[in-house]
Amino acid sequence: MKNKIVLALLATGTIIFNLLFWHQSLGANALVFSTFIIGASFYAFPQNIKKIPVIITTIAILLTTITIFYHASTFAIIIWLISLTMFPALIHYSEQKTVFFGFAVSITDYLMGHKLATENIKINKRASLKFGKTLKVIKLSVIPMFVLTVFYFIFKKANPIFEELSLNFFISIGEWIQNLFIDFSFAQIFFTIWGFTVIIWFLYKRQNQKNQKFEAVHFDTISRRKPFGNINKTNNIKTLSTGLRNEFKSGLILIISINILLFIVNIIDIIWVWFGFEYSQDFDLKQFVHEGTYLLIFSILLSIAIMIYFFRAKLNFYPKIKYLQVAAYIWIAQNIILTISVALRNLEYIEHFGLAYKRIGVFFFLALVIFGLVTLVFKIKEQKTTYKMIKENSWAMYIGFVLFAMPDWDMIIAKTNLAHTLKDNIETSYLLTLDDKVLPLIDQRQDILLQSKDLNTYRNFYKSYQEIYDNRVNDFIKKYNKKSFIARNYADDKAFDYFKTKYPDRVKKLTTPRTKNAKPAKDE
């Protein structure tokens, strides 16, 4: 019974996929499809519904689809697609616990989609028997159909009235089929087949998936009995102790040395950036933030990698490990101070040059770095594995991306920059690259379209800003009018209503279809 329902869900899902997404952009259709695919997957694999990764991913899919329905930002769409891609592996296999491995297994399953169908057909013996019976009926019908066709052509040639009736019959059937598929193209057929493979991906799992067992052999806590490298018969305890002692000394010297260097850098930043920074036109703030920030972030990541290396295995059980741990904690604390310095540099940049995605992204990345440093403390203190740290940080990054995708950043950036006190520092070229929903805000401040191009470094437009803006408004009105209601979102609705209210004649001209016999106006 369950196999029949899953098969019905497969057929229904294929139809829904085609109806919702063929020649449509994303809007409410993403929410409808996500609700269906989650419900269908829960029915097919009820045993994994209560898994924490499944619950997190399900909430993420629903949140991002609500976000798409509200403002349909590109970033929200990307995170929605990533969430959907991970979901099959997490709901299919109880062993999957991490973002990266789950994503990899899910992609592998989709690429091996032909096996999803064949493996499940083999399992369903009743379906196989029915398929065999159907095939047998088809074989038995071939000879009668052939004989019937021969007699049809004989009677057709012998009886002109029968020929006319049969001809009219087949013409009527042909017209009916043509009308049925008048709007159906080969492209849509392939699109429907693609939708079929997508639904199979969610509703069926591979039976012999080796990759799914990869995480089963990884543990959260470092084992003292775990071998350290390749040990041959000539090795003895003294040799191993000497190797560990040398590694301990090397790590301690390195971490103390970098601690001293980092202490000097932090003191300079605290004095200069935290309390004594003053911006002047002669100072290259972009270089100070861009290159400085990237280098500091790289140094933090390098620090994390070094500490993971030293606390990866048997060194955690070395008798004097507390000295290395204390040095590592000081290093982590100093990296947190360095992270604050990077955040303050970014704030200075925003204060003088406004918001942008990269500047917002820096804060997001720094928050993840702080989380990573905190988990590093627990890894060192509680002797946890790198696998556990990767698992925790990958989920933190994923949840962070989901939360980051929810605000309408294009509107926030546009409103903040248009209200900025230092107008000459706000790049009009950047505002003109934001989503269509910000066009009403630019319409209310068309003075920025007169800004000199010398003040802009983001994009070099060959046309004037006014011309770029007018073309974007016209394109938006035309595109919006062609969208089905299921593919629209609230932010675009609001923008369209703005232009429809303020410029009704312009909107009417752009959205009224011209008939074939319509005469062009004199000025055309």
pLDDT on residue 519? 52
Task: Check whether residue 101 and residue 212 sit in a common domain.
Answer: yes
Helix 99-111 vs helix 74-92: angle between axes, to the nearest 10 degrees? 80
Q: Does some domain include residue 279?
A: yes
Task: Check whether residue 270 and residue 343 sit in a common domain.
Answer: yes
Q: Is 27 helix (H, G, I), strand (E, B) or coil?
A: coil
| Bridge partners for 384 per DSSP | 221
pLDDT on residue 185? 67
**pTM score above 0.85:** no
CB atoms within 10 A of CB 344: 16
Angle at 324 between CA 319 and CA 329, to 5 degrees: 135
Structural domain boundaries, residue 312: 242-384
Judge contact between 23 and 217, C-beta under 8 A.
no
Q: Cα dist. 123→40, 132, 169, 204, 209 in Å? A: 20, 14, 44, 11, 15
Judge contact between 77 and 63, C-beta under 8 A.
no
Q: Does some domain include residue 362?
A: yes
Task: Check whether residue 174 and residue 267 sit in a common domain.
Answer: no
Whole-angstrom distance, CA of residue 126 vs CA of residue 410: 54
Task: Check whether residue 280 and residue 345 sit in a common domain.
Answer: yes
* pLDDT tens-digit readout, 253-280: 888 998 898 899 889 888 888 887 776 6
Question: pLDDT grade, residue 235 (50/70/90)?
Answer: very low
* pLDDT tens-digit readout, 282-305: 566 666 666 667 777 788 888 888
Task: Check whether residue 364 and residue 459 sit in a common domain.
Answer: no
Q: Does some domain include residue 404?
A: no
Token duo for residue 302 = 């390098």
Whole-angstrom distance, CA of residue 355 vs CA of residue 426: 9
Let me know how long the chain is.
524
Closest listed residue to residue 348, CA positions, set 442, 275, 298, 444: 275
Within 8 A by CB and 6+ apart from 68, the residues are: 26, 27, 30, 31, 76, 77, 80, 489
In terms of pLDDT, which residue wins out, 61 or 449? 61
Q: Does some domain include residue 524?
A: no
Task: Check whether residue 364 and residue 288 sit in a common domain.
Answer: yes
pLDDT on residue 410? 92
Task: Check whether residue 217 and residue 355 sit in a common domain.
Answer: no
Judge contact between 377 and 329, C-beta under 8 A.
yes
Boundary (domain end) residue, out of 329, 360, 384: 384
Question: pLDDT grade, residue 41 (50/70/90)?
Answer: very high
Judge contact between 387 and 219, C-beta under 8 A.
yes
Q: Does some domain include residue 506?
A: yes
Task: Check whether residue 70 and residue 214 sit in a common domain.
Answer: yes
Weakest mean pLDDT among 23-32, 57-66, 78-87 = 23-32
Q: Is 63 helix (H, G, I), strand (E, B) or coil?
A: helix
Helix 74-92 vs helix 186-203: angle between axes, to the nearest 10 degrees? 50
Judge contact between 218 and 385, C-beta under 8 A.
yes
Q: Does some domain include residue 393?
A: no
> How many independent structural domains does the chain possess?
3
pLDDT on residue 291? 64
Whole-angstrom distance, CA of residue 65 vs CA of residue 375: 31
Task: Check whether residue 217 and residue 246 sit in a common domain.
Answer: no
Whole-angstrom distance, CA of residue 102 vs CA of residue 404: 21
pLDDT on residue 119? 62
pLDDT on residue 306? 85
DSSP per-residue codes, 204-267: ---SS-SGGGTGGG--SB--TTS--S---TT--HHHHHHHHHHHHHHHHHHHHHHHHHHHHHHH
pLDDT on residue 229? 44
pLDDT on residue 64? 95
Q: Does some domain include residue 69?
A: yes
Task: Check whether residue 199 and residue 260 sit in a common domain.
Answer: no
Q: What is the mean pLDDT of residues 477-491?
A: 87
Task: Check whether residue 342 and residue 442 sit in a common domain.
Answer: no
Whole-angstrom distance, CA of residue 104 vs CA of residue 90: 11
| Bridge partners for 221 per DSSP | 384
Q: Does some domain include residue 26?
A: yes
Q: Is the pLDDT of residue 382 over 90?
A: no
Task: Check whether residue 34 and residue 174 sit in a common domain.
Answer: yes
Boundary (domain end) residue, out of 171, 189, 221: 221
Q: What percent of the chain has pLDDT over 90?
A: 22
Question: pLDDT grade, residue 231 (50/70/90)?
Answer: very low
Weakest mean pLDDT among 263-272, 340-349, 387-396, 506-515 = 506-515
Weakest mean pLDDT among 14-23, 317-326, 428-437 = 317-326
Q: Is the pLDDT of residue 524 over 60?
A: no
Going 479 to 482 to 488 to 492, the CA torsion angle's sign is positive
